[in-house]
Amino acid sequence: MDITMPNFNVLWLQSGGCGGCSMSLLCADTADFHGQLRDAGINLLWHPSLSLESGSELIDLLERAADGRLRVDALCIEGSLLRGPNNTGRFHVLAGTGIPMIDWVRRLAATARQVVAIGSCAAWGGITAGGSNPTDACGLQYDDDRPGGLLGASFRSGSGLPVINVAGCPTHPGWVIDSLMALAAGQFSAADLDPLNRPRFYADQLVHHGCTRNEYYEFKASAEKPSDLGCMMEHMGCKGTQVHADCNTRLWNGEGSCTRGGYACIACTEPGFQEPGHPFHETPKIAGIPIGLPTDMPKAWFVALASLSKSATPKRVKANATADHLQVAPAVRKTRLR
Amino acid sequence: MTRLLVGPFNRVEGDLEVTLDIEDGRVSSARVNSPMYRGFEQILQGKRPHDALVYVPRICGICSVSQSVASARALADMGGLSIPPNGQHVTNVILATENMADHLTHFYLFFMPDFTRAVYAGRPWHADAQRRFDPATGEQARQAIAARQRWFTMLGLLAGKWPHTQSIEPGGSTRAVDSAERTRLLARMREFRRFLEQQLFAAPLEQVLSLASADALWDWDARAPLRGDFRMFLAIARDAGLMGLGKGPGRYLSYGAYPQPGAAFVFPRGVWRAESSSLGPLDESGIREDATHAWLADDGGPRHPRDGLTVPAGDKPGAYTWNKAPRLAGEVVETGAIARQLAAGHPLVRDMVERHGGTVFTRVLARLLELARVVPMMEQWMLALEPGEPYCASGALPDEGTGIGLSEAARGSLGHWISVRRGHIENYQIVAPTTWNFSPRDAAGTPGALESALEGAPVLQGETTPVSVQHIVRSFDPCMVCTVH
Ligand code: SF4
Ligand code: SF4
């Protein structure tokens, strides 16, 4: 491997996360994982789960990447950046090197053509920044929703782009692969990023789009306890009407999504999701009205529509909403004109 | 004596560093460092108890369901909730799906690639190993990734997604399965069984299960040498000396796996002792975590996790890892598939461990045999579901109380201890499988399981990352993000 290689070189490193974004990546919907990357011209220089090189072999590779002898087209960082204690970075010293991971990341980011935050940890700080944030965890270029993070708000990679935030906890394998393929093909520009620098192709959707509970939502027929079939917005904490992601149209592990699995969307693609300010699976309300209203919807409209639709709820929808399997099947009707 | 600092290891989950003292071409002493700390036990303080189910799966991406199950059990223990039979079966299937995927991932992606290394270039099996297990081009490695991807589609249906499902509740599962879905899931299970029978074992699983002794295994092996990846492993194990490499402490811990409705575990709970070949009961109250050599406060000496303490102390003299040293009645124990199958009386595993001890070979063997054993059980659990019956009991959690959640992850025994005051978490302690296996020395200076298993490992001339050390480390299938959390 050398600098003249035409391939799109990807270097993937982990720090203050759980490795779940890598495990999710391996669930990418393809019969030939390596073949798919190769066809897209993507060359994995090194990945924690998929490379032979260990110990001194890896350190040598990192040295060459950091001083520019090895071209890195995309530096993918998974996990939060641990600045503590007292800005020393000692909560993660890269094994075998004696050097804090945050210093390695700063050095490598300075030479990489693109820097990609894999998952909400690397994007915003994520779950590791929860509670009292004991390790002073942050994202590559954000601290929750505040620009800054490890690299600073003004950071631009070699390509001129800011850090690309492929947020999610875990992030969807399709979001990662589609992003890398677009980058490798030279078909990704600043216009493809949303206001939080997430790729628009998935961030311009809402989790609510395509949710199988949409009919329950329309009639405000709501789930009241875990395993109920109804819409989870009113009582169970679902944020799908506000959260940016295509989870219910680009499914997970075949035919899954959080709401299809019977539990609320907890906004894992959004900055600060780890500290919602209320129990995750309870909807915070004022005077019986959920505080988090659907994106782009004025409150008065929501209240009016909700009370109208509640009064018009079909018996079937109402009965099924609080059961774990169908109680009433849809009536059979003639669908022709006569 | 020379000293070698080895790391970063990859093909383990998380980051790992090992310091080796070497004399006469062998490791004379080893110290294991888990170099990353995130502080989940601190993050959880003050949270509402049910919110633990959002945080704890994110301790670890490779065994997130195991974390969820342990947490749900701790909450159920505190709240006095019991799970309806459907919920129990589905939880077992979800957990087994993750555990079996971990065994597959470990074998094909983490452990076997080391035999493609140049250091083995002279061995008769080397070219074959490269063809099968090269991380980027290996035919079998690539097929295993594809089989794993298909296998995990079961959790799309059963758990919404993997990793980090929220479908596992103290009262059961949030996702009821109807009969048509069950049919689909059974078909998916049989597809995975086909991969195991064609690629891994090159034999029906029932045939593998019937091998009840070392002699029976070697006879079976000799009838079709090198057929399937399992026999390839057997051939390499004999030639590369894996039988005697990396001997563990000889005491094995299992919390018991896959509880059945109203009945016992499928794989029982207990402590197996090699010297007496006997299974003793587990006394949970005998667990202590010793933080003498961890960069953590150790006020009050070793503590039971019920009142465990987690406060970083990065400058503590004598400390060399973020990991505490758990001990059971003062003793070092090993945990993992080998412990589960010893406790469960797997005749082949018991016979092999009697002959060779807990070593690189027997650890990997136990994992593969567990695959052959559990996949058929999963089919039975699916068939036991009663469509229309409940999957989840609901009930409020108390504002005060304590709970214990013990479970078996792929890598071994995982425990969560919670205490709640005024509706908020006061203390939450986690002891993960690799916390046991990769523990540092305790106050008495006794090395942890890996630390002692590394003693005696051969180091070849010029090696900076000794291949024997890599085999031993990876034979435990370590998960470093769980270890410290
Ligand atoms: S974003 Fe979530 S899944 Fe990814 S590393 Fe962080 S905690 Fe794990
Ligand atoms: S459960 Fe959530 S995502 Fe689904 S319809 Fe209701 S609000 Fe929308």
Report ipTM (2 d.p.).
0.97
Residues B151 and A253: their CA atoms lie apart, in Å, by: 9
CB contacts of B460 in chain A (<8 Å) are none
Nearest alpha-carbon partner for A172 in A257, A242, A101, A115: A257
Which numbered atom of ligand 1 lies nearest the CA of A79? 5
Query: Which stretches of chain A drop beneath a pLDDT of 50?
Result: 1-5
A-facing residues of B in 196-225 (CB < 8 A) are none
CB A220 within 8 A of CB A188: no
Residue ID of nearest Cα to ligand 2 atom 7: A233
Q: What is the pLDDT of residue B411?
A: 98
- Evaluate: CB of A259 within 6 angstroms of ligand 2: yes
CB contacts of B38 in chain A (<8 Å) are 16, 80, 82, 91, 128, 134-135, 137
Contacts across the A-B interface (CB distance below 8 Å): 265
Tell me whether residues A131 and B45 touch, CB distance under 8 A.
Answer: yes
Q: What is the pLDDT of residue A175?
A: 98
CB contacts of B37 in chain A (<8 Å) are 82, 91-92, 135
Task: List residues bridging with B409 in a β-sheet.
Answer: B412
| CA-based max dimension of chain A | 80
Residues B87 and A126: their CA atoms lie apart, in Å, by: 30
**What's the Cα-to-Cα distance from B161 to each of A250, A262, B98, B481, rounded to whole Å?**
12, 11, 12, 20
Task: List residues bridging with A12 in a β-sheet.
Answer: A76
Which numbered atom of ligand 2 lies nearest the CA of A233? 7
Quick one: which ligand is closest to A274's CA?
Answer: 1
- Between B61, B117, B146, which is nearest A31 by CB? B146
Candidates A18, A102, A239, A283: best to mutate against B (most CBs of B within 10 A) is: A18
For B409-441, give one letter per residue: b (16+ CB within 10 A) or e. bbbbbbbbbbbbeeeebebbbbbbbbbbbbbbb
Tokens representing A272 are 């600060």
Q: Are strands A99-100 and B257-259 parallel, antiparallel or unpaired?
A: unpaired
- What separation in Å is there between the alpha carbon of B40 and the centre of ligand 1? 13
Pocket of ligand 1 (CB under 6 A): A 17-18, 20-21, 78-79, 119-121, 126-127, 169-170; B 58, 61
Quick one: which ligand is closest to A260's CA?
Answer: 2
- What separation in Å is there between the alpha carbon of A127 and the centre of ligand 1? 7
Q: What is the pLDDT of residue A4?
A: 46
A-facing residues of B in 397-436 (CB < 8 A) are none
B-facing residues of A in 228-257 (CB < 8 A) are 251-257
Q: What is the pLDDT of residue A131?
A: 98
Which numbered atom of ligand 2 lies nearest the CA of A211? 4
Residues B147 and A280: their CA atoms lie apart, in Å, by: 34
Candidates B62, B116, B152, B161: best to mutate against A (most CBs of A within 10 A) is: B161
- Evaluate: CB of A238 within 6 angstroms of ligand 2: yes
Which of A217, A222, A248, A280 for mutating ligand 2's site (highest number of atoms within 8 Å of CB)? A217
Report the predicted TM-score, pTM, of the whole model to 2 decimal places.
0.98
Nearest Cα of chain A lies from the Cα of B170 at a distance, in angstroms, of 10
Which of A12, A14, A23, A78 for mutating ligand 1's site (highest number of atoms within 8 Å of CB)? A78
B-facing residues of A in 3-62 (CB < 8 A) are 14-24, 26-35, 44, 46, 48-59
Residues A17 and B324: their CA atoms lie apart, in Å, by: 20
Predicted confidence pLDDT, tens digits, chain B (485 residues): 899 999 999 999 899 999 999 999 999 999 999 999 999 999 999 999 999 999 999 999 999 999 999 999 999 999 999 999 999 999 999 999 999 999 999 999 999 999 999 999 999 999 999 999 999 999 999 999 999 999 999 999 999 999 999 999 999 999 999 999 999 999 999 999 999 999 999 999 999 999 999 999 999 999 999 999 999 999 999 999 999 999 999 999 999 999 999 879 999 999 999 999 999 999 999 999 999 999 999 999 999 999 999 999 999 999 999 999 999 999 999 999 999 999 999 999 999 999 999 999 999 999 999 999 999 999 999 999 998 999 999 889 999 999 999 999 999 999 999 999 999 999 999 999 999 999 999 999 999 999 999 999 999 999 999 999 999 999 999 999 999 99
Q: How many other CB atoms are there within 10 angstroms of residue A65's CB atom?
A: 22
B8–chain A Cβ distance below 8 A for any pair: yes
* Number of alpha carbons in the 13 Å side-chain half-sphere of residue A234: 25
Residue ID of nearest Cα to ligand 2 atom 6: A231
